[in-house]
Amino acid sequence: MEAKADYTQDGIVDFCGQPAVSSKTGKWKACAFLVGYEAFERMAFYGVASNLVNYLTTQLHEDIVSSIPHLRPTEYKRLRLPRNRRTVNRAYGGVLSGSVVRERIIRAFLVEEKKIVKKVLKIQKAKEKQALKG
């Protein structure tokens, strides 16, 4: 039996439910497993996707353009929505409708335009004061 210090001290157990031995678990063994798992998962995903295209074009006799709704249903569904129901995904979370995005853009332009108008009015006032003094 191994020394008590050789076991992991954080309560991790092996697949039999026994305390895990730190020299035999984790580290680079786990890394190789995870890399292999990711590689096989991606191969399976792209294999299914390419076979789906072949199935739709050969067995169902659809051309590639008409099979797009079957390949990407969520993207196709978004295109079929009315213009006011479409949404925009934001980079930092949240979803906005098209009308809200439009209002925010207009508001941003109006704020900038207001700043420019204030500058112009300030310059005009300064010119009027200078003309009255001179």
Domain count for the chain: 2
**C-alpha torsion sign, points 64, 70, 72, 78:** positive
Confidence of residue 13 (pLDDT cuts 50, 70, 90): confident
For the stretch 64-79, pLDDT in tens is 777 767 776 666 666 6
Same domain, 93 and 134: yes
Same domain, 105 and 66: no
Tokens of 43: 């191969």
Residue 66 is predicted with a pLDDT of: 75
Confidence of residue 109 (pLDDT cuts 50, 70, 90): very high
Same domain, 6 and 67: yes
Same domain, 99 and 68: no
CB 95 within 8 A of CB 89: yes
Same domain, 67 and 7: yes
Same domain, 41 and 58: yes
Greater confidence (13 vs 27) lies with: 13
Same domain, 50 and 114: no
Same domain, 73 and 95: no
Same domain, 65 and 22: yes
Same domain, 18 and 72: yes
Residue 119 is predicted with a pLDDT of: 94
Same domain, 64 and 100: no
Does the pTM of the predicted model rise above 0.85?
no
**Torsions phi, psi of 43, nearest 5?**
-60, -40
| pLDDT of 48 above 70 | yes
Q: Which residues constitute the domain of residue 46?
A: 1-80
CB 21 within 8 A of CB 2: yes
